[in-house]
Amino acid sequence: MDLLDNYKKVWNNHPKDTRKFSLEEIYELAHSKSSSIVKWIFIIGLIEFVVLNSSYFFIDMSEAFSLYEKMGLINFIYYTQIIFYIIVFYFLIKFYKNYKKISTTDSISTLMIKIIKTRKTVRNYVLFNLSYFILIMIVITIASINTNFDNLSNKEILIVTIITILVTVLILGIMWLFYQLLYGILLRKLNTNYKKLADLNSEK
Amino acid sequence: MEKTIEKEFLSDFEKNQNIVHKICRIFTTNQNDHNDLFQEITIQVWKSYSKYRGDAKFSTWMYRVALNTAISLYRKSTKRIKYQNIDDFAYKIKATDYDQTEEFQLEALYKAMHQLNDIDKALIYLYLENKPYEEISETLGISSINARVRMNRAKEKLKKILSP
């Protein structure tokens, strides 16, 4: 008899009197709070949508708008903001739809793909936000140099440009590290298992 | 209506909880984690119970939800329900009519399975539970041929670990 057949026999005799939960205990367990990664992705996703869009509460917008007006950027800001919110809305719907599609009754690989897809929507949303941030930074820098062009020396223009680039890179770097850490920890197990399963499917 | 579904769920789950205990024992190595995973599986089975239409055996359906939770959803949590008799739960089986040699063999089998990766654990578990390849490939979402190839490899790995 094969070694595993022997163990299988032992398995089939697996005693049933290991710890059993009562109906009351099962009821309590079923109604307790989940700590699944899907729940965490949803919470983190929602926080990102809220935090990244709540700058209005922290920035004095009337002051910012008067500055934009001075630089001749008011139309640019106005129209890009409209486009920005249409895209944010699109991301929100996509995120919610992907989240709703996640079901534990799917096969293991389908479930993993759906979780990864939902996470990617959040990642793309963050990337979009950062790109928008970079665009605004560049436009404002160019506009402020243009507005004060006569008063600035070449050296000053160079310093402003370098500082803007450095600040942008620094913010992007911090954000990138933060996301690597956050999703790295959250999805480490899932990513490893998904890779293993994907390897399985690519084998002929 | 909700109450009837809940009653059915509780009765189905209670009868089949051995499936979940075995999965927890394969995917965790101590009793706290075991209970933790058991709790998450119970939540997930209850959450998706409305999707269970009774056209498949409840146990078959539960294998999928439980394995999905163990492999993809489970994260350790510190905020968990504490059981009164948590210390009573030991991995050692204390049934008097149970062969001691078999007890050691079962212990060795679980220990060996702990050394496998999560996908191999699921494969071996389904093999031990006598699941047909069709069901294994459907549960994992891979082709039947791939399931066979991978199963053979997982078995080889397990044999190597179990061989003295």
* A to B CB pairs, distance under 8 Å: 174
Cβ atoms of residues B141 and A103 within 8 Å? no
Predicted TM-score (pTM) above 0.90 = no
Task: Write down the pLDDT at residue B63.
Answer: 93
Separation of alpha carbons A7 and B106, rounded Å: 7
Of A139, A20, A160, A169, nearest to B38 by C-alpha is A20
Domain B97-164: give its CATH code.
Answer: 1.10.10.10
For the domain made up of B1-77, the CATH class stated in words is mainly alpha
Of B67, B45, B64, nearest to B119 by C-alpha is B67
Q: Does A8 touch chain B (CB under 8 A)?
A: yes
Which chain B residue has the Cα nearest residue A22? Answer: B14
Give the dihedral sign, CA B59/B60/B65/B71.
positive
Q: Percentage of chain A with pLDDT > 90?
A: 14
Separation of alpha carbons B102 and A75, rounded Å: 79
Q: Does A193 touch chain B (CB under 8 A)?
A: yes
Q: Please answer yes or no on whether B141 and A109 come within 8 Å at the CB atom.
A: yes
The DSSP-derived string for B3-29 is HHHHHHHHHHHHHHHHHHHHHHHHH-S
Predicted confidence pLDDT, tens digits, chain B (164 residues): 677 888 999 999 999 999 999 999 999 988 889 999 999 999 999 999 988 877 778 888 899 999 999 999 987 654 445 544 433 344 444 444 556 788 888 989 999 999 999 999 999 999 999 999 999 999 999 999 999 999 999 999 999 999 86
Task: Write down the pLDDT at residue A182.
Answer: 82
Kindly report, residue by residue over A177-189, the tens digit of the pLDDT: 888 888 888 888 8
Which helix (DSSP H) or strand (DSSP E) does residue A61 occupy? helix A61-71
SS3 A73: coil
| Chain A nearest CA to B27, separation (Å) | 12
Interface test with B, best of A6, A111, A188, A196 (most B CBs within 10 A): A111
Interface test with A, best of B25, B73, B97 (most A CBs within 10 A): B73
Separation of alpha carbons B144 and B146, rounded Å: 5
* Residues with Cβ within 8 Å of residue A47, at least 6 apart in sequence: none
Q: What angle do CA A57, A60, A61 make, to 5 degrees?
A: 90
